[in-house]
Structure 1
Amino acid sequence: MTSSSTSPTMIGRDTESAWLDGLLDGVRAGAPATAVIGGEAGIGKSRLVREFAAGLGPDVRFVLGQCVDLGEVAAPYAPVKGALRALVAQVGAERALEAVGPGRAALVALLPELAASEGGVAGEIVITPGGAGSGQLHEAIAVLLETLSREEPIVLVMEDLHWVDAATLALLRFLLRSLGSSRVLLLLTYRTDDVTRGHPLRGFLSEAERDRWVERRELSRLSHDQVRDLVRSLIVDESPNDQVLDTVFVRSDGVPFFVEELVGIDGCRDEGFVPDTLRDLLLARYERLPEPAQELLRLLSTGGVRVSHALLSAVYRGDEAALDAAARESVRFGVIEVDGDDYAFRHALVREAILADLLPGERARFHARYAEAYEAQAAAGRRRLAAEISYHWLGAHDPIRAFPATIQAMREARAAVAYASAAQLGERALELWESVPDAERISGMSKIELMSRTASHLRHAGEGERSLAMVKAALAECPRDDEQYPRLLRDKALYLAGVGRGGSIPILEEALEAIAADDDADDLRVTVLTALAGRLMIEARLDEAVRIADEAFELAQRIDFPRYASVAMNISAVSRAARGEVERALVDIERSRELAQGEGSALLRYWVNASDLRNLVGDYHEAVRLAEEGLERARKQGVERSSGVILASNAVDPLLALGQWERADALIERGLALDPPAPFRVYLQRAKLWALVWRGDAERAAELLRGYRSTMTPIMAVEMQTRLGVSRVAVEIALATGDVAQAWRDGRAVLHEERLPLAGYAEPLLWALSRVIAAVRADPARVSEAEAAEIIAAEPELRDVLDRLAFWPTHLLWAAFVEAELQGTDAAWRAAVDAASADTAPGFLLPYAQLRLGEALLADGDRAGARDALQSAFAGAVAGGVTAVQTRAARVAMQAGIGLEGATSGDVSRGTAGVAGADDPADAVSELTARERQVLELIAEGLSNRQIGERLYISGKTASVHVSAILRKLGASSRTEAVFLARVAR
């Protein structure tokens, strides 16, 4: 019998093939997808990908990226570069650069050969504060794929993710969230048995499974019948007997590659040929080769799964004829394959078995040859190869030669904005430092500086805690009189803030004291002053923030540092506004734009703070304009994931105030899809929760808040505006879901802030708290007796805080609403309606005030006035998209027997926010006990809890418990509403 090394047909994967074809059909129709294929070694992942690729039509672009096994620190973006080079080859360099748009510089940084088409020289892209460099590259690649996929669908394959480098993994994480408008099928494969506990891919896979675009499958072993079919497809001229087939099935465990190897050993003549161990099976073909071929394969295995002919020639010690002869034999025996100009092992398992068979001295010699060959290629300027050189010199046990390569690899990774890889290489260089004589001269930096750079790379890679640990270690080794010391202190303060922890301010103050008192240190001094002013502003230490910001501004002006002059003026303006100097602040913040002189990061900071300030003073249209103007600039600069997310959230709040819910939703979802750093993500999450409450899905908001709290809490501890904003939303969610006690706990801290809270954020929170006080005053039994006493007694404190914020432009609006909630009279609510009619009032407030006016008029018996108010509330809520108010207005009218124009039964049964209501009053009333129905009748007579108790010979407290149960069962927010619901049920 004769056999082939690979089956001509793929066996047992029809279901998976159909699955991939279905995903591609969806991609063609405009729905992006990601397929994650896992499986043990030899199970057929690559074969499935090859068969899928072979069946693609001419309308689909196929690009493949292969991860490389270079140990723990792989070359950054290795599979990405391969895939993108293939894509550029298909469309042309000029078209690729045109498609990527503003991200040209980032793409050229990754693929320097594009510099010629760009008409310039490749170099590092401009890195903006906040680790935006990797964001620029990620955004550039996403834009490239999105743009080109509009012409033809793209299948982008990343093979062998168990070897993935940190930079590629970060990019994939970004692409999963950001390709929502593309026609891209992302196909990822990995070996399950190599992804052990602690492997970075494990976390990525867990995250990916939560994404709606991602489907994950693991390939199973072949069944007995499928193994029979596979063996028969491999045997060319005769079928083996059943006993041999059974033996192959048992010994292969249904793994296709093992089946092929077993059949390929000697044609599957009988069961006696079967190797005893997996190692023997994997080496069976190799060991039948002559020694020259075996030596070549050992050398090849040291280079990786795939090695180019040119590289193999450079490391091979024989002549070309001997190399060709050994390679030809290896191909004939089915150990390796020829793929273009490369030699590749038919399976990575075979390469790993041969590699494990190397002697220690042999392995070191081979690694040294590869390192020298890569050095020669790098010297010829072909491409960046320092990571490969470092890996092979380490394999050769030569730390002295590995060290400079590692330093260079770190720089190359940084130039390609592969921060995660740069950080790993920096850590490797630090491990080698003590083994290298004169390491400082070779690296061109001190050990302290290397630690500082590594900490910076860790921060930019999103490893906040590790960056903090590294800079602390650097400080521990750095003498206090060293010029690096204040820089390290500054960095420590910034890294602390980056992970949402306090303590930055005293560290920055210490840094100022440590800076040398001479003009040469002015550049450093102004950066520390500006950072300190910013932290003081965030913690609402406003007077100090103004003083330090003004000092920073004067210094920046003196040393002609326009970026920091702009930022300092910006911080000063915002801080002045927060303490009441609003008119001056509006002038100064525009001056900060002029001072920026077109400098990107300073301009972005202007747009962030200017748009926020305009929103807080009620100039919503201008706030949206400024935020969207800045967001467009952030996209062009490739920093949508950092500054862009803040600007998106700054656009969201005024859009919600204007009732433009869909535009706001789109910005929220886009921003969250970019997976921004935690402080930026919290801004969007807060806005999302608030929108859910007022659009009638309070239960969903409560569910999300439970998941968000762990992220929000540390940020709230150090940022007052976040603390106030999130607290307000939490209070409103708790009120909407009927948990009055939790609402109070979530918001009461504002009454005891050490410093005057930021008025623009505090006053809406005070309004929410006034609703809590009013709810408890109306029905104290909704909370414990102690809580009721605390809440009702807090009214004077709330009014005092509100009065101290009277300087704020929108104070009269919020004061009117607080007063209306606390008084509850129709006169107070008429005043609130008038206040909500101003241009500076958020749109949702007017229908809400009209609703509450209608309820107050009903309580006073003015049905005609109540109908007009409820009709206005309903119509305004429908027009403004305020679903919660629309539902409550319709329900209150129904309960009162008042018909509203345009209202339907669907309006009443729709989910609510701010009101917990039963969909069917009759069902709710049927749940009442006999005693509760008695109590309800007495409520209808207008009796108090004490009077009800006297009538029924029970205590007032017991009556109160019955009243609370009635309100809960009927979904009523007040005693009056409970009576209306009961009447409707009849």
Structure 2
Amino acid sequence: MTMSAPAMIGRHADLARLEARLDEVRAGAPFTVIIGGEAGIGKTRLVREFTAGLAPDVRLLAGQCVDLGSVAAPYAPVKTALRTLVAEEGASRVLEAVGPGRAALVALLPELAASESGDVGAPGAGIASGQLHEAIAVLLETFSRERPIVFMIEDLHWIDAASLTLLRFLMRALGSSRVLTVLTYRSEDVTRGHPVRTFLSEAERDRWVERRELGRLTRAQVRKLAKSLMADEAPSESVFDTVFRRSDGVPFFVEELVGIDGCRDEGEVPDTLRELLLARYERLSESAQELLRLVATGGVRISHALLAAVHDGTPDELDTAARESVLAGVLMIEGDDYAFRHALVREAILADLLPGERARFHARYAEAYEAAAATGTRRLAAEISYHWLGAHDAARAFPATMQAMREARAAAAYATAAQLGERALGLWDVVPDPVAAAGMGKLELMGRTASHLRNAGEGERSLALIKAALAECPRDEPQYPRLLRDKALYLGNLGRPGSIETLEEALEVLGDSGADELRATVLTALAGRLMIDGRLDDAVDMADQAIDVAAGAGSPRYTSVATNIAGVSRAARGEVEQGVALVERARELAEGDGGALLRYWVNASDMHYLIGNHREAVRLAEEGLARAREQGVERSSGVILASNAVDPLFALGEWERAEELIDRALALDAPTPFNVYVLRARIWAMLWRGDTAGATDLYRRVRSSLLGVMEVEMQTRLGVGRVAIELALANDDLPGAWREARCILDEIHPPLPGYALPYLWAAARVIAAVRARPRAVTDATASEVEAAAPAFRALLDRMTFWPSHPIWGAFFEAELAEASDGAGAGVPGTDIAAWRSAVEASAASTAPGFLAPYALLRQAEAELGGADRPAARASLQASLDMSESGGVGAVRDRVVRVAAAAGIALDGVGGGAGLVAAAGGVAGSAASDADGAATAELTARERQVLELIAEGLSNRQIGERLFISGKTASVHVSAILRKLGAATRTEAAYRAGALS
């Protein structure tokens, strides 16, 4: 009788699905399959069958998560998988393939340092988690070009926090690879609050992820499985009925029930699950049982060398007991390791240990790991800490926990480092002389743990821990102002108020006796927060003080950052040339300092965009983004730099290039204070490209998450506020548009001109709309708008110093100017001369590209009001041509509507003659002929999209139906409208129906 069924039963559809996904991966489409199910359901058997059938050209990199309690060893399953790659390809080739990420990979796998010439630096020196994640992604992508890779991680329910964060990154970042990621987890262990539960919810929203839950076997499948296990001995119906009922269709339970010797009638079937799991174990000799209890204490899988180190018998006694356990089907041999045939058996045996026995076994493992750590290159402090805790020896667990925290930090496993720091803090009061054992005081440990939490994305917990440290720290301790500074930084990272007041308190505490280096960091941080809050004069004063202190302390980094802030603040208050010069001076001071250079690229790229130097802004932002990726901070500074490239790319009309940056930035799942900028950019782009519904939906979904950042950042209030105004206008919600527009009048400090000027243009559109349609709002609102109009103009007049003022000022005036005669007399936005001035202003090299077609459209509308149809047709044609070539779909759609309403035929609008004829009440066949020719030009995918348009689906719904992104669906819709010459989706749907 076999221990396991010779053939897999009931999982052939799941196996075929895995094989189909691998075929897709071969073609260059990376994919992730997540396999869940209850214990014993057959997850391991399925993936074993799958990997056993892999073709020779497929590389398998597999790792298994380790059960080390609440804090698992960082990257344990990932290290196992990558060491397979190193063994196959050699350390030198792996390091060569990873390129700039060599130091990060060495930090993860210190044994690789032996193959290096010493140019990668000390392992872990300056390594950020982003660098390590990027290095692993590059490694997998590089080797997958040679051979498809199956990257498999089993037992996700035991995964460590660092590995889980890495998986999140890889699922989004492996966009150009041939990697099939296969993950397994035990569903009943992923309970509410388990980190994997959130991971699974996020993964389900990704179209490149498939989650499969394995179900229980049917009665027929259980019968087939039982027969395969019993060979020629078919079970009686009564035994089979009992096996089916007691196993509940779980394959492992079927194997255990059938595998019990003499199980030929119901009386032989164990009464409880525990008895079933221990049935084979209890038939073994005492020496074999003791060995299994020892193995269970060590984990699901134990190497022979480690087992020999912890076993207190002779080698022969170990071999005899191990052989007996293997023959009984309790243990399996996998290479040089012993592994339980199923984790459930290990857990049942572990629960059977006596308390004293458990503590002794844990102590043996701890000592064995300590001996291995003293002689090898692998980091084992997490294992040592876990086992000393299991042995109830806090005095020896504490230093191991501290070392494990340092090792996790060296490997950029911030989440694990934070967990270990919290464990050490929990042991602090029960350990003799913890300061000596830790090498630091409790407050410093709290500060470092809070920093690890922040770097792990746990902003709220990091802030809570800093607050706890401040509560324990006397105000006159040197640590107190440092903790205040950290609290202010964490508040800022969370987009929460209070940073300025906290930094001011830190300066007060420092007085005249504080260290200059700390004072420089506090002054610089305060100057930055004041700048973001719009308190420009205060920001300049504070930045100047920071420059003096930082220079005196010999700190080029903070001298550079403070100079940078002083430059931006001076420019924003009117000293533009001096401000730009100071920002460039900041770059000179930052040379060689990665952090200071990133601050330069962020502020310099934004400044150049706001003054209209769009190509220079793109160059600076992309230069900084490349460095951010190298430094492993793409999820923070990199996301901001991506957004700084996106806005000028929009201005240049390079929408697709900008969308790629947005997709990449959002895929990194950065904290909201960083994501806010790319979210705002995406919403604005969707609106101006013609997807008002999609933009409105996205804005409603993310608005609540943006509010916190808007509260503490003026630039975010103005940037998001402008988008909100334009969305409300596009949805014909004048009361809502006015609520958003008037907010700028509530700013306590003068608004930042680069952000305020476009906002004021949007506000002028609201004022004009209310004046033109006063009945669309209440009388009170109409009166409020009229009363506030002079304040908007006063704000505009205050910003004449800003380089782009002539452009935005011309548009502001054109929106409000009224024609003196004709149909537009007395109506805002109908003065032809004002719109001609706006068209002239939009032709400047510093003007965003979308303004020109908009200005020409508005000029055409004014010309129609003045009964100058030839001029109107020329303006509409020019607007149409520019909006189509520039990708400004919203303007193009409006041009077509205006032309159709006026009965004006435009070149390049398919069916134009038909539109004119319809307006005149005359029908003809020319349109149908043109439509037929245009439809013939549609690709197969476009025809699919056209059918879904006819069903009334949105771009997002089309994307979900066809397994493409909403953005890609939008591109297809735009192409269909262009080819059919349709002005709207409804018109396209009509034509599709007419031609079917």
Give the TM-score of the pair, scaled to structure 2.
0.89
Deviation at 1:119, TM superposition (A): 1.9
Deviation at 1:122, TM superposition (A): 6.6
Distance 2:695 2:263 in 1: 64
Deviation at 1:363, TM superposition (A): 0.8
Distance 2:57 2:695 in 1: 43
Aligned to 2:927: none
Distance 1:727 1:224 in 2: 62
Structure 1 residues 569 and 85 mapped into 2: Cα distance closer, same or farther (>3 Å)? same
Alignment pair present for 1:507 and 2:502: yes
SS at 1:902 equivalent: coil
Q: Deviations over 1:819-846 (max 9, x none)?
A: 1111111111111111111111100001
Aligned to 1:360: 355
Distance 2:787 2:897 in 1: 32
Does the aligned pair in 2 maintain the 1:112–1:122 contact within 8 Å? no
Letter aligned with residue 135 of structure 1: G
Q: 1:417 aligns with which of 407, 412, 423?
A: 412
Q: Deviations over 1:602-634 (max 9, x none)?
A: 111111111111100001111111111111222
Distance 1:750 1:387 in 2: 53
Q: 1:778 aligns with which of 769, 772, 781?
A: 772
Aligned to 2:705: 711
The 5 A counterparts of 1:269-280 are 269-280=264-275
* % same residue: 69
Does the aligned pair in 2 maintain the 1:890–1:907 contact within 8 Å? no
Equivalenced residues, count: 904
The 5 A counterparts of 1:884-899 are 884-899=890-905
Letter aligned with residue 563 of structure 2: M
Aligned to 2:98: 100
Aligned to 2:402: 407
Distance 2:189 2:627 in 1: 43
Q: Deviations over 1:866-892 (max 9, x none)?
A: 111111111111111111111111110
Aligned to 1:831: 837
Does the aligned pair in 2 maintain the 1:109–1:122 contact within 8 Å? no
Deviation at 1:124, TM superposition (A): 4.1
The 5 A counterparts of 1:198-237 are 198-237=193-232
Distance 2:881 2:856 in 1: 10
Letter aligned with residue 806 of structure 1: T
SS at 1:266 equivalent: coil
Alignment pair present for 1:849 and 2:847: no
Out of 627-636 and 308-317, give the one that drifted further: 627-636
Structure 1 residues 268 and 905 mapped into 2: Cα distance closer, same or farther (>3 Å)? farther
Out of 655-664 and 390-399, give the one that drifted further: 390-399
The 5 A counterparts of 1:456-605 are 456-515=451-510, 517-518=512-513, 521-605=515-599
Unaligned 5+ residue runs, structure 2? 818-828, 916-982, 988-996
Does the aligned pair in 1 maintain the 2:110–2:123 contact within 8 Å? no
Alignment pair present for 1:879 and 2:885: yes
Alignment pair present for 1:300 and 2:295: yes
Give the TM-score of the pair, scaled to structure 1.
0.90
Q: 1:109 aligns with which of 91, 107, 111?
A: 107
Deviation at 1:713, TM superposition (A): 0.5
Distance 2:678 2:121 in 1: 36
Aligned to 2:21: 23
Letter aligned with residue 149 of structure 1: S
SS at 1:325 equivalent: helix
Deviation at 1:14, TM superposition (A): 1.1
SS at 1:834 equivalent: helix
Distance 1:882 1:261 in 2: 67
Structure 1 residues 304 and 558 mapped into 2: Cα distance closer, same or farther (>3 Å)? same
Letter aligned with residue 217 of structure 1: R
Letter aligned with residue 10 of structure 2: G
Structure 1 residues 95 and 906 mapped into 2: Cα distance closer, same or farther (>3 Å)? farther
Distance 2:338 2:625 in 1: 48
Does the aligned pair in 2 maintain the 1:292–1:326 contact within 8 Å? yes
SS at 1:642 equivalent: helix
Deviation at 1:522, TM superposition (A): 1.1
Letter aligned with residue 57 of structure 2: D
Q: Deviations over 1:523-557 (max 9, x none)?
A: 11111111111111111111111111111112222
SS at 1:794 equivalent: helix
Distance 2:69 2:27 in 1: 40
Deviation at 1:312, TM superposition (A): 0.8
Letter aligned with residue 707 of structure 1: R
SS at 2:181 equivalent: strand
Aligned to 1:282: 277
Q: Deviations over 1:673-702 (max 9, x none)?
A: 111221111111111111101100011000
Alignment pair present for 1:178 and 2:173: yes
Distance 2:775 2:98 in 1: 62
Deviation at 1:785, TM superposition (A): 2.8
Distance 2:744 2:88 in 1: 60
Distance 1:375 1:229 in 2: 49
Structure 1 residues 631 and 382 mapped into 2: Cα distance closer, same or farther (>3 Å)? closer
Structure 1 residues 94 and 382 mapped into 2: Cα distance closer, same or farther (>3 Å)? closer
Alignment pair present for 1:722 and 2:716: yes
Letter aligned with residue 82 of structure 1: T
Q: Deviations over 1:60-107 (max 9, x none)?
A: 111111000010111111111111111222222122112211111111
Distance 1:809 1:761 in 2: 12
Letter aligned with residue 827 of structure 1: A
Aligned to 2:235: 240
Aligned to 2:376: 381
Distance 2:227 2:562 in 1: 77
Does the aligned pair in 2 maintain the 1:155–1:187 contact within 8 Å? yes
Q: 2:447 aligns with which of 436, 452, 463?
A: 452
SS at 2:674 equivalent: helix
SS at 2:278 equivalent: helix
Aligned to 2:943: none
Deviation at 1:646, TM superposition (A): 1.1
The 5 A counterparts of 1:782-793 are 782-793=776-787
Letter aligned with residue 189 of structure 2: D
Aligned to 1:937: none
Distance 2:670 2:239 in 1: 58
Distance 2:99 2:777 in 1: 58
Aligned to 1:320: 315
SS at 1:843 equivalent: coil
Alignment pair present for 1:123 and 2:122: yes
Aligned to 2:929: none
Aligned to 1:646: 640
Out of 875-884 and 89-98, give the one that drifted further: 89-98
Deviation at 1:36, TM superposition (A): 0.8
Q: Deviations over 1:430-469 (max 9, x none)?
A: 1111101111111111111111111111111100010000
Letter aligned with residue 493 of structure 1: A
Distance 2:451 2:256 in 1: 49
SS at 1:445 equivalent: coil
SS at 1:190 equivalent: strand
Does the aligned pair in 1 maintain the 2:280–2:329 contact within 8 Å? yes
SS at 1:598 equivalent: coil
SS at 2:635 equivalent: coil
Letter aligned with residue 115 of structure 2: S
Does the aligned pair in 2 maintain the 1:574–1:585 contact within 8 Å? yes
Q: 1:336 aligns with which of 331, 336, 344?
A: 331
Does the aligned pair in 2 maintain the 1:177–1:675 contact within 8 Å? no
Aligned to 1:250: 245
Deviation at 1:268, TM superposition (A): 4.1
Letter aligned with residue 882 of structure 2: G
Letter aligned with residue 283 of structure 1: L
The 5 A counterparts of 1:647-662 are 647-662=641-656
Aligned to 1:801: 795
Does the aligned pair in 2 maintain the 1:126–1:133 contact within 8 Å? no
Alignment pair present for 1:618 and 2:618: no
Alignment pair present for 1:628 and 2:622: yes
Deviation at 1:378, TM superposition (A): 1.2
